[in-house]
Amino acid sequence: MAEMDAVHDAHDEHPTTTIREYLLIGLALSVITAIELVMSLYDDALGAILIPGLLIFSAIKFIIVVAMFMHLKFDSIRFTQIFTFGFVLAAALLTAVVVLFAFDASDAIGGGFIGDPIEHHD
């Protein structure tokens, strides 16, 4: 599980991203942001695909910045593993909490896990 590598510069292992490439990435991020803005201005027309669409575009921007600007794509896999673990845990736990608040015992017919405490004799 541990590599006994000598310290090396990870940047030696791939052709460095050029300034031009970085600028193009910046442009792509701006374009995506503009698309998101336009989408939210036409929210009625988009209906049900608005939210998934916005989330997908944000995810794309997120991944681009993390992979290219933060260099995860070209650096050691350990960094990716560590960050992904934290991010996935955060997303999972906090989705769980939000869902737990969206649906709790007061929504369930019959009183949730305790069940209807009052016996009805009809």
Partner 1 sequence: MSAATHETEHHTSLGLDNRKLLMWIFLASECLFFGSLLSTYLIFKGESLSGPGTDIFAFEITSISTFVLLMSSLSMVLAVYGAQHGQLGLMKLMLLCTILLGLVFLGFQVYEFKTFASEGLTLSTNQFGASFFVLTGFHGCHVGGGVIYLGSLLIASVRRNGIGKETPLYIDIGGLYWHFVDIVWIVLFTVVYLIPAY
Partner 2 sequence: MATATDGVGAVQTEQSKVWEWLTTVDHKKIGAMYGITGFTYFLISGLTALAIRTQLAVPNGNVLSAELYNQFFTMHALMMIFLAIMPMGASFFNFFIPLQIGARDVAFPRLNALSYWVFLSGSLILFSSFFLGGAPDAGWFAYAPLTDSQYSVGPGLDFYCVGLIILGLSSLMASLNFAVTILNMRAPGMTMMRLPVYMWMTLVVSFLLILSLPIVTVALVLLYFDRNFTTNFFTPETGGDPILWQHLFWLFGHPEVYVLILPSMGIVSEVIPVFSRKPLFGYSAIVFAGASIGVLGFGVWAHHMFTTGLGTVPTLVFTATTMGIGVPTGVKIFNWLSTMYGGSIRFTTSMYFAVAFIAMFTIGGISGVMHASPAVDSQHQDTYFVVAHIHYVLFGGAIMGIFSGIFYWWPKMTGRFLSETIGKWSFWVMFAGMNLTFFPMHFLGVSGMPRRIYTYDEGFGWDDWNMVATIGSYLIGVGVLIFLVNVFRTMRQPATAPDNPWDGPTLEWATSSPPPEHDFDVIPEVHSSIPLWTNREMGIATPEAPEGLHIHLPPPSYMPLILAIGIGLLGVGLLSHLALVGIGVAIAIYGIWGWAIEPTD
Catalog residues that contact partner 2 under the rule CB under 8 A: 1-2, 4, 78, 86, 89, 93, 97, 100-101, 103-108, 112-114
Q: In the chain, helix, strand, coil percent, each to 5?
A: 70, 0, 30
Phi-psi region of 110 (alpha: psi -120 to 50; beta: other; left: phi over 0): left
Q: Among 73, 78, 105, 116, indicate the residue that binds partner 1 (CB under 8 A).
A: 78
Give yes or no for residue 57 binding partner 1 (CB under 8 A).
Answer: yes
CB nearer to partner 1: pick between 4 and 114: 4
Minimum distance of partner 1 from residue 30's CB (angstroms): 6
CA geometry: angle 14, 15, 19, nearest 5 deg? 130
Taking a C-beta distance cutoff of 8 angstroms, is the pair 53, 39 a contact? yes
Taking a C-beta distance cutoff of 8 angstroms, is the pair 32, 57 a contact? yes
Q: Among 13, 20, 42, 43, indicate the residue that binds partner 1 (CB under 8 A).
A: 43
User: Alpha-carbon distance 60 to 29, whole Å?
Assistant: 9
Binding site for partner 1 (CB under 8 A): 2-8, 11, 16-17, 19, 22-23, 25-26, 29-30, 33, 36-37, 39-40, 43, 50-51, 54-55, 57-58, 61-62, 65-66, 68-71, 76, 78-79, 82-83, 85-87, 89-91, 93-95, 97-98, 101
